[in-house]
Structure 1
């Protein structure tokens, strides 16, 4: 910063953002000037305080710029840098072990054989995890054998949360819930929602273990309904604020009562049109704009009825 005092008829060069020298009352852009030897010609009118920001006008001494518990954004990182903070304490992102059961599963990118299907759930659960403050640890496919499931679960215990996809329904080879029960405690097995009924939660050695259905739509639905709030709480993030719109229903929906249903829809021409196919069809979610919640005691919603759509 120039130390010499600026008096009437004189000027000094300063860098953008620096402190102005004593006596200076305005700043002129260099684009509006021309140096002529020792003299500086100014080609624009100048007023008192022009291009000058008063000290403390942005951040006052002692003011709070970021509160504890707030999620860091690029703007908040910038304001911390602006006040000279090079480091701060932050919560560690919880690590989430993701395991998928099924001898029939093949990772994307490999050639598929008769009787095999591509693994979808590993990647949707990893995406939900990243989106909600967690760090996914992909432990791969687990064979439908008790010893393999037990070994995989023990590997997963190095992390903060373990997520299994598959192995939660009543199939003969769905062993995960029984293994959790043998090593720890099952808190619940089965919830009254559609899709996603065969879901379980337990804990082993103090670590929560969430077991999702193998069907991709059921798994992703519970990723939003169960995994997301669990993760955000573990990551010390605030709950999500869902975006909703109210529009007329574009088609009749009939169903069997008994479970809360998350029914996927597309928004088309100002109406909500059913996008749900079946629990195994991931395109039900990929081609949808959101979902409507159908209460357990409702079996019919008429075309034209006003529905609230929670947007993805």
Structure 2
């Protein structure tokens, strides 16, 4: 007979249990194109200055400021300096060099006159403006000094950070490797999307939901085709995959009834099955199976989505080196009354507009359409059974733009 806990675990206690189970991923070198969204594992010190040499900020003419001290002067053009030229000839007094944006400033020049202030001449040029020393010159190290730390360990790498890494000459970076998650749904009633349904069957959606959720935060997901309610089939399906991943996540088969294949297959194998004081998603399981972290989720799709948000998402982000692992929490006024069961923390789907949040759909764990339409979760504490219209509530923001 299975032991049933006399008191469910709190949401916070179970979140901590899952967080402690999932190990930090190692730091490894990856090419820049594979680092988007990952976390830098070590400080990045620049081996070069940016700019690496004094260069022109404008298309125009490199001059000596003393030679253009009067507003209108005509001077010979001694050299052309396009961007990328490396054999820069020094500028002699009484001459100018035509120069392009980004090209190195020749020795002897101390200013750039932009082409708009000239007649654009190629052999001789009439200059119609004066230029103080330093005008339109980008100085060596003006942006980054050689030896400076340009990115700190723990930085989440986006387009700007990867552009900076490339600018200082890095083709790869030490990053926390993406967490590798094996996803398996269970249930004899499940049918692959795209196949015909018979009465009593439903399309399997949990693996698509979970795999996408893992990938959205920078992890890697491998999906195994779902298994029926058969213990032997369950073990056969995961065999050969466990040594290639950091975590196994299952959905379904963990409740108190018959045909609970995950519970039957993993009870006594290092996985503890518990109840959490949350609605939806009370039945949960976690532990080590053959040394591999395992988290088992309920089967209803909203329970799966919520369980990922509450328990897996923060644990996976932390394992990949992220400092910010929780959703933004704000206060909002409830646009309608909410009712919640005693002694359970309820999460309702909602739409947050300004400082008002409107519940979407009911509390049922099968109502996936309302989850897809939501941009937040409304948190109703364990000691609250009724939220009146207009009451302040805590909202977990799912929309990354807020």
- What TM-score, normalized to structure 1? 0.91
Judging changes above 3 Å, is the alpha-carbon distance between structure 1 residues 297 and 167 closer, same or farther for their aligned structure 2 residues?
same
Bigger drift between 99-108 and 214-223 goes to: 99-108
1:58 lines up with 2:143 in the alignment: yes
Q: Is 2:318–2:325's contact at 8 Å kept on the other side of the alignment?
A: no
Q: Which of residues 239, 242, 258 in structure 2 aligns to 1:172?
A: 258
Q: Is 1:180–1:202's contact at 8 Å kept on the other side of the alignment?
A: no
Please give the secondary structure, in 1, of the residue aligned with 2:112.
coil
4+ residue runs of structure 1 moved beyond 6 angstroms? none
Judging changes above 3 Å, is the alpha-carbon distance between structure 1 residues 269 and 77 closer, same or farther for their aligned structure 2 residues?
closer
Aligned-partner Cα distance in 1 for 2:157–2:201:
42
Aligned-partner Cα distance in 2 for 1:108–1:87:
39
- Could you say which residue in structure 1 is the equivalent of 2:381? 295
Q: Is 2:380–2:393's contact at 8 Å kept on the other side of the alignment?
A: no
Cα deviation 1:73-105 (Å, max 9, x = unaligned): 111111111111222222221211101111222
Q: Which of residues 247, 251, 255 in structure 1 aligns to 2:336?
A: 251
Q: CA deviation at 1:180?
A: 1.8
- Could you say which residue in structure 2 is the equivalent of 1:113? 198
Q: Is 1:133–1:231's contact at 8 Å kept on the other side of the alignment?
A: no
Bigger drift between 274-283 and 42-51 goes to: 42-51
Q: Which of residues 325, 347, 368 in structure 2 aligns to 1:240?
A: 325
1:284 lines up with 2:370 in the alignment: yes
- Could you say which residue in structure 1 is the equivalent of 2:28? none
Bigger drift between 97-106 and 85-94 goes to: 85-94
Cα deviation 1:165-208 (Å, max 9, x = unaligned): 111112311121231224x3124422111111011112112211
Judging changes above 3 Å, is the alpha-carbon distance between structure 1 residues 19 and 145 closer, same or farther for their aligned structure 2 residues?
same
- Could you say which residue in structure 2 is the equivalent of 1:307? 393
Judging changes above 3 Å, is the alpha-carbon distance between structure 1 residues 239 and 154 closer, same or farther for their aligned structure 2 residues?
farther
Judging changes above 3 Å, is the alpha-carbon distance between structure 1 residues 256 and 14 closer, same or farther for their aligned structure 2 residues?
same
Aligned residues: 311
Q: Which of residues 168, 173, 178 in structure 2 aligns to 1:83?
A: 168
Q: CA deviation at 1:47?
A: 3.9
Judging changes above 3 Å, is the alpha-carbon distance between structure 1 residues 23 and 116 closer, same or farther for their aligned structure 2 residues?
same
Aligned-partner Cα distance in 2 for 1:75–1:226:
30
Judging changes above 3 Å, is the alpha-carbon distance between structure 1 residues 140 and 47 closer, same or farther for their aligned structure 2 residues?
farther
Q: Is 2:340–2:346's contact at 8 Å kept on the other side of the alignment?
A: no
Bigger drift between 117-126 and 39-48 goes to: 39-48
Q: Is 1:97–1:162's contact at 8 Å kept on the other side of the alignment?
A: yes
1:92 lines up with 2:177 in the alignment: yes
More contact order relative to length (CA 8 Å, sep ≥ 6): 2
Q: CA deviation at 1:110?
A: 2.7
- Could you say which residue in structure 2 is the equivalent of 1:206? 291
Over aligned residues, Cα RMSD in angstroms? Answer: 2.1
Judging changes above 3 Å, is the alpha-carbon distance between structure 1 residues 118 and 43 closer, same or farther for their aligned structure 2 residues?
farther
Aligned-partner Cα distance in 2 for 1:104–1:115:
7
Judging changes above 3 Å, is the alpha-carbon distance between structure 1 residues 306 and 48 closer, same or farther for their aligned structure 2 residues?
same
1:163 lines up with 2:249 in the alignment: yes
- Could you say which residue in structure 2 is the equivalent of 1:132? 217
Bigger drift between 164-173 and 229-238 goes to: 229-238
Please give the secondary structure, in 2, of the residue aligned with 1:40.
strand
Please give the secondary structure, in 2, of the residue aligned with 1:98.
strand
Q: Which runs of 5+ in 2 are unaligned?
A: 1-85
Aligned-partner Cα distance in 1 for 2:110–2:132:
9
Q: CA deviation at 1:263?
A: 1.7
Superposition pairs for residues 66-81 of structure 1, below 5 Å? 66-81=151-166
Q: Is 1:201–1:208's contact at 8 Å kept on the other side of the alignment?
A: yes
Aligned-partner Cα distance in 2 for 1:245–1:69:
25
Judging changes above 3 Å, is the alpha-carbon distance between structure 1 residues 168 and 310 closer, same or farther for their aligned structure 2 residues?
same
Cα deviation 1:266-290 (Å, max 9, x = unaligned): 2358522221421001112111121
